[in-house]
A = this chain, B = another copy of it.
Amino acid sequence: MIEVVPNPVTTVMRALADPTRRAVLERVFESKEITVGELTIGSGVTQGAISQHLKSLKQAGLVAERAEGRNVYYRAAPQGLEPLVAWMDHYGVFWRERFQNLRELLKEIDP
């Protein structure tokens, strides 16, 4: 089954399917902004590999970038996860399972 241009769900899922890449994304999510060099440290792979992963993540719409001098700062783009949320939503799993948590959360935020 050929998809000439993969649909957004596929793109996002594929981006998240690799543990190294997901680890990169998680670090981006946890920091307000982070450079490629910082991401490389402790990643276990080379700087080139990190740049490649960031490219995938950017294409998937999961991160955004800002160049400043010779550094490039990456930041999270959580809207990129929307296709995934929509997919799960459609298959119903979500609300039913998380219902209780939800209710509590709503109370906390707006009692």
Q: Please name all residues of chain B whose beta carbon is closer than 8 Å to the beta carbon of A64 when the two chains form the complex.
A: none
Interface size of A by CB at 8 A reads 40
B91 and A78 form a contact (CB under 8 A): yes
* Given known contacts A13-B17, A17-B14, A103-B106, A85 and B81 CB-to-CB distance under 8 angstroms: no
Mask for A77-90, Cβ within 8 A of B = 1, else 0?
A: 01101101100110
CA–CA, A29 and B96, complex, Å:
14
CA of A37 to CA of B97, assembled, Å: 30
Cβ < 8 Å to B, chain A residues 29-46: 29, 43-45
Known contacts A1-B20, A10-B18, then 6 further A-B pairs from the complex at CB < 8 Å, ordered by chain A residue = A6-B19, A9-B22, A13-B13, A13-B16, A78-B93, A102-B102
